[in-house]
């Protein structure tokens, strides 16, 4: 098992064919430029993780500018995420800190990376690897219970012409005399962090990944691609 983590943006969704002629849906993810901007270690932070930065921006935050300056990255980045390495260690990979020419780095199995280095998708991923993708799903706005939870509504009989998309009863009477927390009702739908697991890598290029299946969000959504937890 290799170290697998990178940030990217969702590209187009299309179809392709396997070697056996089966048609499959695929999603392209742009993953360049992505840099290692920091390391969390057990000694100083109590856990192992890598801090990644992706994309470019004109106006970066001062706190992020300090982080990039410390990492020796001149390009202002606008998307930062931290990927924990607990499950990689549970799978048997050894994680340790390294240093070379006064640059701090991390060694995960046979992979060595230093702060400020670009994360190369071709070295992190290979064809047929299983990964998970995390992003923010599409926003649907305020929706009723039929759209949001799949309710069937009430029968349009005996004069109930306005009940076919209604939620029905939402609680008891005097006891308990209130609506329970978590009751499925109408409300804001979508725009939530979602993770899709066990997606298969179809192609790992220098600047993009092509994976089998669909991922959360609209085109241009920022994504975190990592090993399956």
How would you write the pLDDT of the chain (229 residues) with one tens digit per residue? 678 899 999 999 999 999 999 999 999 999 988 999 999 998 899 999 999 999 888 877 887 888 888 888 888 888 999 999 887 888 788 889 999 888 889 998 888 899 999 998 988 899 999 999 999 999 999 999 999 999 998 888 888 888 889 999 999 989 989 999 999 999 999 999 999 999 999 999 888 999 999 999 999 999 999 988 7
Instruction: Give the pLDDT of residue 192.
Output: 96
Query: Backbone phi, then psi, for 35, in 5-degree steps?
Result: -130, 150
The model carries a pTM of 0.86
Residue 143: CATH number of its domain? 2.40.30.10
Q: How far apart are CA 68 and CA 48, in angstroms?
A: 20
The domain in which residue 128 lies consists of 1-32+120-148+186-229
Which residues neighbour 125 within 8 Å (Cβ) at sequence distance 6 or greater?
A: 2, 4, 6, 131, 201, 204, 209, 225
Instruction: Give the pLDDT of residue 210.
Output: 96
Instruction: Give the pLDDT of residue 157.
Output: 85
Domain end among 94, 117, 140: 117
Q: How far apart are CA 198 and CA 196, in angstroms?
A: 7
125 plus 79 within the same structural domain: no
In a domain, 160, yes or no: no
Domain count, the chain: 2
209 plus 99 within the same structural domain: no
42 plus 89 within the same structural domain: yes
67 plus 100 within the same structural domain: yes
In a domain, 2, yes or no: yes
**SS3 of residue 123 by DSSP:** helix
48 plus 3 within the same structural domain: no
41 plus 89 within the same structural domain: yes
17 plus 38 within the same structural domain: no
């Amino acid at each position: 098992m290799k170290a697998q983590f990178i940030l990217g943006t969702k590209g187009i969704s299309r179809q392709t064919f396997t070697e056996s002629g089966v048609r499959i849906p695929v999603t392209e993810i742009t993953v360049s430029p992505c840099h290692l901007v920091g390391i969390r270690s057990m000694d100083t932070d109590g856990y192992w993780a890598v801090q990644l930065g992706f994309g470019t921006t004109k106006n970066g935050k001062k706190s992020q500018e300090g982080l990039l300056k410390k990492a020796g990255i001149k390009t202002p980045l606008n998307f930062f995420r931290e990927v924990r390495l607990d499950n990689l260690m549970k799978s048997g990979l050894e994680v340790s800190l390294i240093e070379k020419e006064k640059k701090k780095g991390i060694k995960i199995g046979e992979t060595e990376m230093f702060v400020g280095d670009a994360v190369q998708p071709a070295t992190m991923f290979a064809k047929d690897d299983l990964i998970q993708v995390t992003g923010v799903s599409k926003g649907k706005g305020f929706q009723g219970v039929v759209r949001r939870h799949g309710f069937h509504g009430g029968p349009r009989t005996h004069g109930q012409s306005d009940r076919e998309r209604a939620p029905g009863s939402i609680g008891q009477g005097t006891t308990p005399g209130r609506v329970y927390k978590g009751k499925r009702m109408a409300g804001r739908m979508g725009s939530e962090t979602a993770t899709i697991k066990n997606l298969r890598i179809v192609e790992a290029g220098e600047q993009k990944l092509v994976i089998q299946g669909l991922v959360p969000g609209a085109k241009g959504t920022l994504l975190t691609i990592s090993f399956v937890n």
